[in-house]
Amino acid sequence: MDIRSVTPTLCRLMGIEPPSVCTAPVLEAVLEAAPSRVDRVLVYAADAIGRVFLDNHPDLKKRLVAASDVQVELRSMMPPKTPVCFASMFTGAAPEVHGIRKYERPVLSCDTLFDALARARKKTAIVAVRDCSVDIIFRNRPIDYFTEEDDAAVVKRTLSLLSDDRHDFMVSYNQEYDDTLHRTRHDGPEALAAAGRHVETFVRLRQETEEHWARYNRALLFTPDHGAHCDAAKGKSDHGEDIPEDMDVLHFWRFGAAAPTDSTERTRRARDESAASAHPFSLS
């Protein structure tokens, strides 16, 4: 299975038709752990944090596992470059279908998850750093676009939107780890600090979704696009090769069930539970 399966799985959970170009299978392990229907989704797209990197840093992996319900091993796309990967992730289609087959950032003209959400009358927001791939390639759609100056501003805006509760579906993209590994090494102290901030952001988003989306069936995802490796000749890291360090990713899914929305519902449930306790058997 590869990262294309994110789109059909989200569509199944939200009860909408997938994009017309989507050919990927759903992630059955995710569906088995999810509520029957999901009303709110937040996808936290942390760039370049691969499976091999997490295996080598079990403290970070442990934090992600503790904050999630399901962990899914997936393959990235070739070449493992950000626009190629996120175009595939949010269409359910291969690069030769959606059209981005190298590091380039055209606005996609094919059907995407965001078009499918719009057809289903779902209100969507994308929060991303100015001029990044995620900020560019999904333009010209009925989406609320929030373009921020850096990761910290993206997180701040995401938290504000969660509090406002005006969107059914949100993508929040962070890139500090990827930026840092291209300047230094993916496993150096600077990059490790950036990766740690991405992990802590996911944990924070778990807390915030549980607070602000408590009355909905909800899903929170941690969805890196690819990994990275050290280029010994350059003395810094990169990605783009068909190797486990670049191609293998772990996605983390967290689900929450809707809580009773008012005192009437809580009273009804308490009454039903009391009646069941008093009369454990019934005649038909």
Tokens of 250: 């772990």
pLDDT, one tens digit per residue, over 118-156 is 999 999 999 999 999 999 999 999 999 999 999 999 999
* Beta strands at 218-222 and 248-256: parallel, antiparallel or unpaired: antiparallel
Residue 65 lies in a domain: yes
Q: How far apart are the first and last CA of the chain?
A: 48
Domain of 79? 3-278
Q: What are phi and psi of 70, to 5 degrees?
A: -135, 135
- DSSP structure class, residue 186: T
Nearest residue to 47 via CA among 126, 153, 128, 103: 128
Whether 263 maps to a domain, the answer reads: yes
Q: How large is the average pLDDT for residues 48-66?
A: 98
Assign residue 203 the CATH number of its domain: 3.40.720.10
What pLDDT does residue 269 have?
54
Structure-token match 């993916």, residue found: 186
Average pLDDT over residues 63-73: 98
Per-residue model confidence (pLDDT) at position 160:
98
Q: What's the confidence (pLDDT) of residue 262?
A: 59
Domain count, the chain: 1
93 occurs within a structural domain: yes
Q: Does any domain span residue 215?
A: yes
Where residue 23 falls among pLDDT bands split at 50, 70, 90? very high
Count other Cβ atoms within 10 Å, centred on residue 148.
20
Can the peptide bond before residue 95 be classed as cis, meaning omega within 30 degrees of 0?
no
Sorted by sequence, the CB contacts under 8 Å of residue 51 that are 6+ apart come out as 73, 227, 244, 248, 249, 250
Residue 267 lies in a domain: yes
Ramachandran region of residue 148, left (φ > 0), alpha (ψ -120 to 50) or beta?
A: beta
Share of the chain above pLDDT 90, in %: 88
pLDDT category, 101, cuts 50, 70, 90?
A: very high
As given in the structure block, the two tokens for residue 158 are: 């995401």
Instruction: Give the model's pLDDT for residue 278.
Output: 44
Q: Per the domain annotation, does 283 fall within a domain?
A: no
Q: What is the pTM of this model?
A: 0.90
237 CB burial (10 A radius; 0-12, 13-18, 19+) = buried
Q: The tokens of 30 are what?
A: 């995710």
Is 284 a member of any domain?
A: no
pLDDT in tens, 233-273: 888 999 999 999 999 999 999 999 998 765 445 545 555 55
